[in-house]
């Protein structure tokens, strides 16, 4: 359930006076300035653990109108409510939750979310901001990224830093630079360059007990709009601050694919496109050999701009996306690591969608929000229940339509 700020901040006020006090502080940056985003009534709403923070995105089908708005999803009521605005309108940004200063231990500090990069009115953003669980407000981080970034990824590693790498720069071409954000100092710094400029790539933390456990795997993408899609991959070492090529290349060229680390430490890559066709293929990266191999079976549909979510039972949920014919999909499927096969879910999604989000909730269900439908950015959301294999619409719609947004579980 939602809480008002008086429960944490001790503000003594009533009615609209309370709203005015809280709204006045909404969107402040670390230098004392204020956001150009309009003040909203939602600034007196605070989350509780288990809620989902949905931020930014494009509100129109053309992908030209980014928003500074944010909203909270309450899994108890299955409804959304408007939250305080971000300091900057942005879409195609990255958002990662963390506990400041916590590395390998339970910390007592406030849970926060770092939001960085993305696009606003055609500009690739260097700016970043932090959402604070206890205040429900966004604060700018200064300085931000070393370069504007879009079509990039962010991954939290085991040393307490978050890697922000590559992506399209202000020149509309991929870059090879990278930044790390320290969850201890709450500051950005540059790190080593990628082995090759990449955008539209996949990235995930290597698990298991191999010699590269704790490294970050970056796969595929594109290095130039005029060159073939990449089939290479590389590893980032957080301790060394360097990138090195993997021993083997991907089985297939792929960009705009999805990637997730499995419980045994291997990494699943699925879908995307190779520059000429949308893919139904998938492959597995084995850390001990640094090589890729095709999965036993292909996906039930070709997909790009989809989501992949690791479920609590170790299987992987794949939802929506767009297929090779250009159809936006309402289908979903499950990858079974034990067999290497994909099977369709019992039911389809309630709405066809691409460029949406899928967030694993505390109860093991998955929240799916927004994305593009056949003619508009969507304000609908739905829940996948692994026990039934079915999707059901949330009680209420989202506050705003959104595509290329971020949705972060608050813990």
Give the pLDDT confidence of 332-379 residue by residue, as tens digits.
Answer: 999 999 999 999 999 999 999 999 999 999 999 999 999 999 999 999
165-183 tens-digit pLDDT:
999 986 779 999 999 999 9
How many CB atoms sit inside 10 A of residue 304's CB? 23
215-242 tens-digit pLDDT:
999 999 999 989 999 999 999 999 999 9
**Token pair in block for residue 333:** 């499927």
- pLDDT of res. 17: 28
- pLDDT of res. 172: 77
Give the max Cα distance, the chain. Answer: 63
- pLDDT of res. 94: 98
256-270 tens-digit pLDDT:
999 999 999 999 999
In the block, residue with structure tokens 């009521």: 77
Question: What mean pLDDT is reported for the chain?
Answer: 89
317 contacts 269 by C-beta, under 8 angstroms = no
Give dist(CA 411, CA 392) in Å, integer.
Answer: 24
Q: Domain holding 162: CATH number? A: 2.120.10.80
Residues forming beta bridges with residue 233, ordered by sequence position: 219
105-162 tens-digit pLDDT:
555 568 999 999 999 999 999 999 999 999 999 999 999 999 999 999 999 999 999 9
Give dist(CA 100, CA 107) in Å, integer.
Answer: 8
- pLDDT of res. 171: 73
In the block, residue with structure tokens 């009533």: 14
pTM of structure: 0.90
- pLDDT of res. 126: 97
User: Residue 89 is part of which domain span?
Assistant: 3-409
- pLDDT of res. 40: 47
- pLDDT of res. 169: 86
Q: Name the band, by pLDDT with cuts 50, 70 and 90, for residue 36.
A: very low
Q: With CA atoms as reference, report the closest residue to 383 among 46, 79, 59, 53.
A: 79
Range name among 24-38, 200-214, 225-239 with the lowest pLDDT average: 24-38
Sign, CA torsion 104/106/110/113: positive
DSSP string computed for 149-198 = -BS-EEEE-TTSEEEEE--B-TTSSB---EEEEETTT--EEE-PPPSS--
Give dist(CA 198, CA 14) in Å, integer.
Answer: 52
Give dist(CA 343, CA 358) in Å, integer.
Answer: 18
Q: Report the domain count for the chain.
A: 1
């Amino acid at each position: 359930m939602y809480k008002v700020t008086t429960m944490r901040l001790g503000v003594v006020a009533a009615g609209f006076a309370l709203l005015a006090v809280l709204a006045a502080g909404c969107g402040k940056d670390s230098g004392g300035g204020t956001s150009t985003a309009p003040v909203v009534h939602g600034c007196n709403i605070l989350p509780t653990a288990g809620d989902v923070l949905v931020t930014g995105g494009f509100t129109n089908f053309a992908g030209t109108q980014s928003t500074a708005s944010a909203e909270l999803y309450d899994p108890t009521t299955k409804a959304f409510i408007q939250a305080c605005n971000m300091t900057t309108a942005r879409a195609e940004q990255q958002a990662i939750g963390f506990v400041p200063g916590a590395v390998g231990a339970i910390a007592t500090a406030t849970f926060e979310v770092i939001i960085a990069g993305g696009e606003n009115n055609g500009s690739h953003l260097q700016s970043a901001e932090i959402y604070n669980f206890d205040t429900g407000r966004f604060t700018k981080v200064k300085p931000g990224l070393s370069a504007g970034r879009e079509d990039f990824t962010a991954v939290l590693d085991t040393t307490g830093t978050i890697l922000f790498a590559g992506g399209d720069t202000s020149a509309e071409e991929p870059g090879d630079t990278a930044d790390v954000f320290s969850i201890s100092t709450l500051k950005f710094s540059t790190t080593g360059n990628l082995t090759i400029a990449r955008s539209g790539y996949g990235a995930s933390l290597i698990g298991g007990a191999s010699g590269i456990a704790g490294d970050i795997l970056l796969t595929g993408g594109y290095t130039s709009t005029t060159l073939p899609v990449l089939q290479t991959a590389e590893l980032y070492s957080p301790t060394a601050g360097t990138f090195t090529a993997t021993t083997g290349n991907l089985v297939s060229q792929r960009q705009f694919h999805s990637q997730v680390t499995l419980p045994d430490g291997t990494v699943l890559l699925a879908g995307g496109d190779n520059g000429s066709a949308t893919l139904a293929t998938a492959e597995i990266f084995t850390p001990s050999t640094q090589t890729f191999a095709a999965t036993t079976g292909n996906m039930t549909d070709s997909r790009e701009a989809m989501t992949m979510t690791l479920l609590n039972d170790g299987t992987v949920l794949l939802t929506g996306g767009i297929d090779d014919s250009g159809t936006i999909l309402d289908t979903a499927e499950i990858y079974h690591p034990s067999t290497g096969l994909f099977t369709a879910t019992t039911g389809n999604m309630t709405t066809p969608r691409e460029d949406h989000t899928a967030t694993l909730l505390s109860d093991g269900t998955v929240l799916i929000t927004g994305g593009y439908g056949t003619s508009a950015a969507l304000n609908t959301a739905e829940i996948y229940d692994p026990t039934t294999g079915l999707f059901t619409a949330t009680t209420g719609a989202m506050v705003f339509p959104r595509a290329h947004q971020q949705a972060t579980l608050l813990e």
